[in-house]
A = this chain, B = another copy of it.
Amino acid sequence: MSGSPADERRPVSESTLDRPVVAVVLAGGVGSRLYPASRGDRPKQFLPLGTDSDESLLSRTVARLDFADEVLVSTRPAFADEVPEHAPDTEVVVEPAGKDTGPALLYATWEARRRVTGDADTAADPVVVCLPSDHHVPDAEAFAAAMSRGARVAADTGALVAFGVEPTRPDTGYGYIEPGAQHGGYADLAAFHEKPDAETAREYLAAGYRWNAGIFAWTPAALFAAAHDTPLAPLADALEAGEPKRGFDAVEPISIDYAVMERADEAAVVPVDFVWDDLGSWDALERVLGGDAHGNTLDSDALALDASGNVVVSDDKHVSVVGVDDLCVVAYDDRVLVVPKAEAQRVREVVARLKGDGSF
């Protein structure tokens, strides 16, 4: 009798990888829930958020990629010129069109292979580690070790690898990964779960599910094999024919999770336990920066009188909060936002309105 699919997989080796690791940094998004710091022409990854320094999120992301032999930053045309300011020693891959993470990562993976192999030597097919450019990961060493481990799992098993962050709370703002059968250093990926309600989030935590950090590792061969059965097929075909433009015209916008990861036969989850936050909305700053004695998170010139639990952020403005609790108050340029911390996700609604009248 043959064993289960998991048993058929090769154990993860301990030796040095015999192929290059390429880190692909996705820097084409805007991070609109961080309006008004983020704007249509000033994406979140270019901002120095969640830090006392003035280093942008992209800059800090690139600084923790020493595990990789090469770094590609994938972005949209409008942001391409500014990427080198934040990531000076990297290659920039410009997405022919903004079609969400599915097309972007397939294209960047194709570019990674092309640049490493020169279109020819598939023996040297790299392992590609794809990661967002705008997340908060303070422990670069733990991060790098986890990435190397994931790269090895991808190389040794041929699976599409997701990284599952150990949850520290039943967060309703993150997607969850349900692990299946355990192997040495990784597990089968049983299922992805959308952002849950509070009750479900507690169940997920109790069941050992992990946060989906949006970080993936795979070989180009594995990703292309999987993509041909998915909505990414038109792009996969076109890329293999060397025609990215045609592929982007043909493919619909879709996330990598929906397009590939959720339906992949060979998907794995590598558990990681570094501190991680997606800095998705203004309330995240309290977690990342920590509050003062009154629970206020004041990362700028600010004055709080009889006020607690507020998050106050600005470019160079002086913000006074008096007698208010648990608000986010954000001031950048000529824009100001006031929203309760508990409703910080609703900044989406503001941005939708602003986009409607062309002022985002």
User: Which residues from chain A sit less than 8 Å from chain B, CB to CB?
Assistant: 36, 303, 305-306, 314, 316-324, 327, 329, 331, 334-340, 343, 346-347, 349-350, 353-354, 359
Contact A320 B337 (CB under 8 A): yes
Is B336 within 8 A of A303, CB to CB?
Answer: no
Chain B residue numbers with a CB within 8 Å of A329 are 336, 338
Smallest CB gap from A344: residue in B: B322
> CA separation between A343 and B325, bound complex, in Å?
13
Given contact pairs A316-B334, A334-B317, A359-B318, A324 touches B339 in the complex (Cβ within 8 A): yes
A305 with B353: CB separation less than 8 A: yes
Bound Cα distance A340, B303 (Å): 15
Q: A305 with B349: in contact, given A318-B359, A343-B322, A343-B323 (CB under 8 Å)?
A: yes
A324 touches B338 (CB 8 A): yes
- Give the chain B neighbours of A335 by CB distance below 8 A: 317-320
Decide: B340 and A320 in contact? CB cutoff 8 A: no
The answer to whether A336 and B319 have CB atoms under 8 Å apart is yes
**Which residues does chain B contribute within 8 Å of A327, judged by CB atoms?**
324, 338
Contacts of A340 in B (CB 8 A): 322-324
Which of B322, B339, B347 is A346 in contact with, Cβ under 8 Å? B322
The contact sample of 20 A-B pairs, CB cut-off 8 A, is A36-B320, A303-B350, A303-B353, A305-B346, A305-B350, A314-B336, A317-B335, A318-B336, A319-B335, A319-B337, A320-B337, A320-B338, A320-B339, A322-B338, A322-B340, A322-B346, A323-B339, A323-B346, A324-B338, A331-B336
**Residues on the B chain within 8 Å of A349, using CB:** 305, 322
Q: Nearest 5 CB-CB pairs, A to B?
A: A322-B339, A319-B336, A323-B343, A317-B334, A320-B350
Return chain B residues, CB-CB under 8 Å to A316: 334
Which residues in B have their C-beta under 8 angstroms from that of A318? 334-336, 359
- Find the B residue at minimum CB distance from A329: B338
State the CA gap A330–B250 with chains docked (Å).
49
CB distance from A336 to the nearest CB of B (A): 4
Contact B350 A336 (CB under 8 A): no
Name which of A314, A319, A353 has the most chain B CB atoms within 10 A of its CB: A319
Contact B322 A337 (CB under 8 A): yes
Chain B's closest residue to A337 (CB) is B320
Within the complex, the shortest CB–CB distance from A120 to chain B, in Å, comes to 53
Residue of B nearest to A302 (CB): B336
Q: How far is the CA of A167 from the CA of B258 in the complex (A)?
A: 65
Establish whether residues B324 and A336, one from each chain, have CB atoms under 8 Å apart when the complex forms: no
A323 to B353, CA, bound (A): 15
Which B residues lie within 8 Å of A323 (CB)? 339-340, 343, 346
- Give, as a whole number of angstroms, the nearest-CB distance from A133 to chain B: 26
CA A36 to CA B339, docked complex, whole Å: 20
Distance in angstroms between the alpha carbons of A353 and B305 in the assembled complex: 10
Question: A353 CA to B303 CA in the complex, in Å?
Answer: 9
A359 to B301, CA, bound (A): 12
Among A314, A317, A347, A353, chain B packs the most CB atoms within 10 A around the CB of A317
Q: Which residue of B lies closest to A317 (CB)?
A: B334
Q: Would A350 and B334 count as touching, CB distance under 8 A?
A: no
